[in-house]
Each structure stands twice: as C-alpha cells, then as structure tokens.
Amino acid sequence: MAASTIKVMIVDDSAVVRQTLKEVLESDQQIEVVSVASDPIFAQKHLETMRPDVIITDVEMPRMDGLTFLRHIMETSPLPVVVCSSKAEEGSDNAIRALEYGAVEIIQKPKLGTKQFLEESKVRICDSVKAAFLATRKLSTLTKRPPSDREVAPKLTADVMLPKPSLAERSIVETTEKIVVVGASTGGTEALKEFLEAFPEDAPGIVIVQHMPEHFTEAFAKRLDSLCRITVKEAADNDTVIRGRALIAPGNKHTLLKRSGARYYVEVKDGPLVCRHRPSVDVLFRSAARYAGKNAIGVIMTGMGDDGSRGMKEMHDAGAQTIAQDEASCVVFGMPNEAIKLGGVDSVLPLDSIAADVLRRSR
C-alpha cells in the first residue's frame, strides 16, 4: 500500500462482517485496513501501539458496547469514527445516538445480495471512510495530513431525469408560499438538529435530503421530532409540504418536490445512484428549481463531494434564494464549496445564522 492510504481499524464481534468489510475497503486503493478487533477491549489494546486514521465500529458488542467505546475515544484521543450498524430498530436508535456522541457517519452492515446491491454498498462504505478521513481537521487535538487530489469526491455517475412538466403544471396557480429544501451529508445530522431546533411552529415547509442508509432515516426523523417545535417525519410518497413540518428523505429512495396547483408535495421513488447517492441532493434541488422556482429557498450544508451543487445552480438560475453553510462551521466543506464555485449560492453563512436567514427570506 502507498504511504498516503487511509488507515482503518475495524471493530465488530462478527468475523464474517470483519472479513467482508476488510475486503470491501481494500478493494479501494486509497484505503488500507491496518487492524481488526472483535470488541472494543481488544481495540483499545491495539490503539496503545498504533493510531488509525478512521475507526469503523459496531454498536452492539459483548464486553463493551460501541457507544461506550465511542465516548471513551472522544474523551481521551479523538479519532473519526464511522458507525456500522444493523437495521434493527434498537440498533438504528443507538446509531443515531452515536452521531450525537461524535461519530461522523453511519453505514449499514454489508450483506449478500445482487451484484448491483453489493457494488452500491461498496461505494457507500468506501465513501464514508473517505468522508470521515476528511473530517479529521475538525478534531482539534489531531494534526493530520491534508487530503490528496485523489481523495476528492468522484463525479456524477448516473442521473434521475425529471419528466417534462405538463401544461397544467406549467400553468401553475400563483402563490407566494415559500418552500425550503436542504441537502447535507457528513456532519449533517448534528447540523440539521441545530438548524431545525431554531424554527418556530409556523416555519415554512421543509424537505431535507441527508445522506443516510435505509431504515436509519426514520429513527433520525423521530429523534428530531422529539427535540423540535416543528413536526419532523420521514417522507412518504405524496406527503404534502406544509408549514410547521419538515420531511426527511428516506434512505435508499430519491425524494422530489412536486406541485399540483398551489399544493406542494413530495414524490418518493427508486432510481440509480446520482452523485454516488440515493437519496441525492441534486435530485431534490433540481425538482425544486422546476416546480417551485422563485418560491424556493435552498440550503446546502456540510458534506463531502459535490452532490447538490448542480441542482443549487439550477435553483439559483430559476430565481430561488440559495444559502451555503460556511467553511468554519462545516465538518467537511465539500458540498457547499462546490455549489459556491459553480456560482449557485447567494449567501454563505455560519450554521447558527442559517435558520434566522431562512425565516427572514420566507417572510
């Protein structure tokens, strides 16, 4: 392996999962698995003599659970941690808690399936490790090498084409109701929490794409719903976008904003990966450009890669108001930076100022 590879430690009580993850990760030339451990106790012993760039850990394990292990790491010697969890309801809830404790990403445990499923899982797992590695600069106690040119996000590989609007859709009833669309990835779970907690009960309707695996978005939405004054739920096909509610795109499904007369609603659908993601921010933003136009407010937050940059430019060109999170408050400044470079951003703001700006623009 080259000296510039991302060094990874895998912690999981399943030998099959450890071996599968190792094979998936080492299929990428930028990643090297330097240690595997069957539980956090063994992992801590390994950490006494070596320091990986990224740790992948399960949540449910014998002797010490992954949450306790994560808190210990963050309190003693912070490292970027990716949570690898099953889709079980309890596991999903614990994975969301792990993000609050400092984990930077969630991935779903790899499993056997179709060739397409395995290839998509490989993309998600390897990209999550690279995103976690890029997040090391936000851990103040670390001094890590900067990412090389090879570690930037890959470009668009597929697209979900929006159908041409019908005559009825082009002759839309005039409305001034504002709709907010938001895209986020690495670091976005905590950023969205701060963002949504700032809204009053009568906030404009919000649709969100947060890169997260299938089954975990429901737990994430429920967690936010318990903390916010607005209602937060996982989006279902044909849900109406209404004031006082935020809809979060379900994992493994694209979510589009659509319009019928003065009613905005979401369409939840299958489709290929777009910008290496499903759901994709670009898919949501492009639909907002087409069906909401100047009535839309777009927000792009922390995350690796360029998902959302093209869609935000389309929104900007359609008359929407667009906001990017600033570099200082991002865990990874990839997605906002790409949108800024394309010329699709009106304002660049720190995270703690975005909600107030959205409210000002919506009024």
- Residue carrying structure tokens 């997260």: 212
- Say if residue 196 is in the same domain as residue 112: no
Mean pLDDT of the 270-299 span: 96
Assign residue 10 the CATH number of its domain: 3.40.50.2300
Rounded to whole angstroms, the Cα distance separating 132 from 84 reads: 13
Supply the range of the domain harboring residue 245: 170-362
Query: What confidence score (pLDDT) does residue 167 get?
Result: 43
Query: What confidence score (pLDDT) does residue 283 get?
Result: 98
Q: Is residue 211 annotated as part of the catalytic site, yes or no? A: yes
What global pTM score does this model have? 0.85
Of the listed ranges 143-152, 233-242, 307-316, the one predicted with least confidence: 143-152
β partners of residue 274? 277
Per residue in 191-203, pLDDT (tens digit) is 999 999 999 999 9
Query: What confidence score (pLDDT) does residue 326 get?
Result: 97
Residue 128 clears pLDDT 90, i.e. is over it: yes
Per residue in 146-170, pLDDT (tens digit) is 333 333 333 333 344 465 555 444 4
For residues 232 and 225, is the Cβ–Cβ distance under 8 A?
Answer: yes
Rounded to whole angstroms, the Cα distance separating 226 from 213 reads: 21
Query: What confidence score (pLDDT) does residue 112 get?
Result: 60
Q: Report yes or no on 155 lying in a domain.
A: no
Rounded to whole angstroms, the Cα distance separating 191 from 291 reads: 27
Q: Report yes or no on 162 lying in a domain.
A: no
- Say if residue 185 is in the same domain as residue 332: yes
Rounded to whole angstroms, the Cα distance separating 2 from 231 reads: 49
- Say if residue 180 is in the same domain as residue 134: no
Assign residue 174 the CATH number of its domain: 3.40.50.180
- Say if residue 203 is in the same domain as residue 343: yes
Q: Taking CA 21 as the corner, what is the angle to CA 137 and CA 186, rounded to the nearest 5 degrees?
A: 30
Residue 140 clears pLDDT 60, i.e. is over it: no
Query: What confidence score (pLDDT) does residue 122 get?
Result: 86
Q: Report yes or no on 118 lying in a domain.
A: yes
Per residue in 59-118, pLDDT (tens digit) is 888 888 888 999 999 988 899 999 988 765 566 788 888 998 899 999 888 766 656 666
- Say if residue 195 is in the same domain as residue 333: yes
Rounded to whole angstroms, the Cα distance separating 193 from 111 reads: 30
- Residue carrying structure tokens 């890669």: 305
Query: What confidence score (pLDDT) does residue 115 get?
Result: 66
Query: What confidence score (pLDDT) does residue 238 get?
Result: 97
Q: Which residue has the higher pLDDT, 341 or 16?
A: 341
Q: Report yes or no on 70 lying in a domain.
A: yes
Distance of CA 318 to the CA centre of its chain: 25
Q: Report yes or no on 160 lying in a domain.
A: no
- Select which of 211, 215, 254, 316 is catalytic: 211
Averaged confidence pLDDT in the chain:
87
Query: What confidence score (pLDDT) does residue 155 get?
Result: 36
- Residue carrying structure tokens 């979060």: 248
- Say if residue 141 is in the same domain as residue 267: no
Q: Which strand (E) or helix (H) includes residue 354? A: helix 351-362
Cα distances from 299 to residues 1, 134, 153, 190, 325, in angstroms, run 39, 22, 20, 15, 8
Number of domains the chain is built from: 2
Query: What confidence score (pLDDT) does residue 149 get?
Result: 36
CA neighbor of 83 nearest in space, from 189, 184, 206, 222: 189
Mean pLDDT of the 173-183 span: 81
CA neighbor of 325 nearest in space, from 294, 281, 280: 281
- Select which of 85, 185, 309, 329 is catalytic: 185
Q: Report yes or no on 156 lying in a domain.
A: no
Q: Is residue 185 annotated as part of the catalytic site, yes or no? A: yes
Residue 264 clears pLDDT 70, i.e. is over it: yes
Rounded to whole angstroms, the Cα distance separating 72 from 243 reads: 41
Residue 356 clears pLDDT 60, i.e. is over it: yes
- Say if residue 52 is in the same domain as residue 182: no
Helix (H, G, I), strand (E, B) or coil at 263: strand
For residues 321 and 246, is the Cβ–Cβ distance under 8 A?
Answer: no
- Select which of 39, 306, 307, 326 is catalytic: 307
CB-hemisphere CA count at 13 Å for 223?
A: 21
Amino acid letter, residue 141: T
**Percent of the chain predicted with pLDDT > 90:** 70
Of the listed ranges 18-22, 53-57, 121-125, 288-292, the one predicted with least confidence: 121-125
Rounded to whole angstroms, the Cα distance separating 85 from 88 reads: 8
Rounded to whole angstroms, the Cα distance separating 345 from 147 reads: 25
Mean pLDDT of the 29-42 span: 95
